[in-house]
């Protein structure tokens, strides 16, 4: 019987060494020659220009940056590196210890500061591992923050913008249309008799219908358009740089595709939904976002008054 031993995964850490002294390159290579539980992937650059070209092609986890780099200032290069690859952890190195320089480096974005004269293999490896761990932690925090921001701006059921984000976007687009005399249209959409859907087929079936209708909306607008759940079974669609004729086409397409969807209730019974849509075109220099919203809402109300399952214009 063949027994296969479990192989522990070796963590690879990509490192760019920026130093114009080849002796220092060899020293770093030797100091990182034997590591415990991780493996350095080293790349070397002798100038800031070369380093930036490397980083533009292939970002790395750790940058070991010499403060004295020929005629270049290490702090200036540090700032440039942060602009190109903000995710890289930078460790500043210099020939002598200088607390003031260390403070400047940390303020400029370095994660650590190492005097070359006091450098040991253990100290360099410890600094790299610490920087890599902190980089990973910062990335996780940033990803979590981004996720929370996304959740704060999007409706959980439909994935579209929520009411608050929608109104902010409408205000911004109306201001842009006013400033640059651009066109702007707004659609207000309501699922017809939605209370009956919930009462007849249950709230889960109602949620399925809402999510599917939201997907129809998202699939039938441009990347520059903005759609959101205004509340309950009501949606709002912002169409920047669109006149009333293009807004009409989009509204007709959404109206048709929502009606063509079919859903299954908890007992397997099939049901469909229709929608009513109100369309309003922004009147340049004569109204704000609230005025446009109110006219689209009046058009939606008119569509419902006229029997639902139709499109009305304001």
Dist. CA 208–CA 233, nearest whole Å: 12
Q: Would you tell me how many other CB atoms lie within 10 Å of the CB of residue 165?
A: 16
Known catalytic residue: 233?
A: yes
For residue 42, count CB atoms less than 10 angstroms from its CB and return exposed for 0-12, middle for 13-18, buried for 19 or more.
middle
The catalytic position among 72, 233, 234, 281 is 233
> What does the radius of gyration of the chain's CA atoms come to, in whole angstroms?
30
| Residues 6+ positions from 256 with CB-CB distance below 8 Å | none
Active site residues: 233
């Amino acid at each position: 019987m063949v027994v296969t031993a479990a192989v522990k995964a070796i963590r690879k850490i990509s490192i760019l060494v920026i130093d114009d002294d080849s002796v220092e390159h060899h020293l770093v290579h030797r100091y990182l020659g034997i590591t415990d539980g991780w493996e350095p992937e080293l790349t070397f650059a002798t100038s800031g220009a070369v380093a930036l070209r490397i980083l533009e092609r292939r970002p790395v986890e750790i940058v070991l940056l010499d403060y004295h780099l020929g005629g270049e200032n290490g702090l200036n290069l540090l700032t440039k590196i942060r602009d190109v690859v903000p995710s890289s952890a930078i460790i500043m190195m210099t020939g002598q210890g200088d607390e003031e320089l260390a403070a400047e480096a940390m303020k400029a974005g370095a994660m650590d500061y190492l005097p070359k004269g006091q450098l040991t293999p253990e100290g360099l490896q410890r600094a790299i591992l610490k920087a890599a761990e902190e980089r990973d932690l910062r990335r996780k925090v940033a990803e979590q923050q981004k996720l929370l921001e996304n959740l704060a701006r999007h409706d959980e059921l439909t994935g579209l913008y929520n009411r608050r984000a929608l109104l902010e976007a409408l205000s911004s687009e109306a201001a842009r249309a006013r400033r640059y005399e651009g066109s702007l249209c707004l659609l207000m959409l309501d699922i017809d008799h939605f209370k009956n859907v919930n009462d007849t087929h249950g709230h889960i079936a109602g949620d399925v219908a809402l999510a599917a209708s939201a997907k129809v909306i998202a699939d039938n607008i441009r990347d520059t358009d903005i759609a959101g759940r205004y509340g309950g079974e009501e949606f709002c669609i912002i169409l920047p740089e669109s006149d009333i004729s293009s807004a009409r086409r989009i509204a007709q397409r959404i109206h048709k595709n929502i009606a063509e969807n079919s859903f299954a209730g908890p007992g397997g019974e099939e049901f469909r939904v229709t929608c009513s849509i109100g369309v309003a075109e922004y009147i340049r220099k004569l109204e704000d976002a609230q005025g446009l919203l109110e006219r689209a809402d009046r058009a939606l109300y008119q569509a419902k008054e006229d029997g639902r399952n139709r499109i009305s214009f304001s």
